[in-house]
Amino acid sequence: MKKTIFFVLLAIFSLGAAPTFAAHGASNNNVATEATLTTEEVNVLKERVIEIREMDKSELTATEKSELKNELKEIKETVQNGPAIYIGGLSLLLLIILLVVLL
């Protein structure tokens, strides 16, 4: 039973890797790279965040508060452009099954 499950999982992972290697052979160099922020730009954004946090918001209207909140969200999205790991649903399911079987 364990050997059967092992071979089924091995076949699934092997078939899943084939398209990855096939796409790797035909490389397109026309992909636009995303520009990273310089340290000066990051420092300016951090100073703006500190300025907003220290602001007295009790005298602001609701629309001004909303604008500040949206500006903080945009700054957060701009600064947090770090690399991320994406795991597909099927891969996650197979990983969980594999862990259950082995443990």
Which ranges of the chain have pLDDT less than 50? 31-32
Q: Tell me: the pLDDT tens digits for 59-78? A: 889 999 999 999 999 988 88
Map out the domains of the chain as residue ranges.
2-15+37-80+87-102
Helices in the chain by DSSP H: which ranges? Answer: 2-25, 39-53, 62-79, 89-102
- Give the pLDDT confidence score for residue 51 in this predicted structure: 92
The predicted pLDDT at position 29 comes to 53
Select from 101, 80, 92 the least CA-distant residue to 37. Answer: 80
